[in-house]
Amino acid sequence: MKVAIIGANGQLGTDLTEVLSTEYEVKGLNHADIEITDIDNVKKAIGSFEPDILLNTAAYNNVPEAEKFPDKAFLINAIGALNLARVCQEMGTKFLHYSTDYVFDGKKGKPYTEEDCPNPLSVYASTKLSGEYFALNYCEQSYVVRVSGIYGKVPSRSKGANFITTMLKLAKEKPEVRVVDDEILTPTPTYRIAMNTAALLKKDAFGLYHMSSEGQCSWYEFAQVIWDIFGLKTPLLPTSVKEFNAPVKRPFYSVLENKRLNSINCNHMIDWKSDLINFLKGSF
């Protein structure tokens, strides 16, 4: 069986390629290989390989930049997903598209399930939600997988870093590091997402899924684990979102419950802290 992965050299794509290559013929497609905003290019790039399954990790995920360039964000995150869904439908290819916890506004205050109504607060989140609808409604054999607080061996290509590498850099360069303690999420390693994706692909249970580690924490608690594992001496202090005066609205609470994965006996995600400690110690 043949699998194509768009964004194969990115943070999530790298681990998907590694995991899925053990049981499928995998072809990685990066920006030089495919332009998802051009449907003719999509037909050519995908048609030449004729995959049984197509996974899309490509996204315009620089949240502040999306506010400045909403047209570009919509073109990649929404129209790109639409083009891929249409071509997959024509070819009879299964389509898996990744989305984000940011589609919620955080007002619920407890874990969101797939049944909760989204209310995106930013351009980025709005374009990702549009991409979800396009993926689910233009390809009959489609999965949409929402993830949260992802980190991996390869930094995000658009951001040039992830939270872990950013914290280590700041700890080395700054006299103290301040991290917000009033935004709650679930840090999730890309390797674990890749492993659970492999399990999901074996089930023809198409639709919307949440796929995050279990439990929740603040960004400050996330950073505390990094400090503990590496024995960092730079003072780490809690702060609030208000002190940073961020230019973009983000949900204060975006924890996901893997309800649909549990319903099909396909939730292999574990506690966020255990996964993070294993990752920082180089276990995977």
CATH of domain 2-159+188-214+256-271: 3.40.50.720
User: Which runs of E-coded beta strand occur in the chain?
Assistant: 2-6, 25-29, 53-56, 94-100, 142-147, 150-151, 177-180, 184-185, 188-189, 207-210, 217-218, 236-239
Average confidence (pLDDT) per 10 residues, the chain, 284 residues: 95 96 95 95 94 96 93 98 98 97 96 97 97 98 96 73 90 94 95 97 96 97 95 94 79 96 97 95 69
Give which of 107, 125, 103, 110 is closest to 255, Cα–Cα. 110
Torsion of CA 65, 71, 75, 78, to 10 degrees: 80
CB-based contact 43:67 (threshold 8 Å):
no
Give pLDDT, residue 272.
97
Give pLDDT, residue 183.
93
| Model confidence, pTM | 0.93
DSSP characters over 194-258? HHHHHHHTTS---EEEE---BS-EEHHHHHHHHHHHHT--S-EEEE-HHHHT-SS---SB--B--
Residue spans per domain, the chain: 2-159+188-214+256-271
Give pLDDT, residue 213.
97
Give pLDDT, residue 274.
96
Q: Residue 29's beta-bridge partner residues?
A: 6
> CB-side exposure of 96: number of CA atoms within 13 Å?
32
**CA–centroid distance for 132 within its chain:** 13
Give pLDDT, residue 159.
60
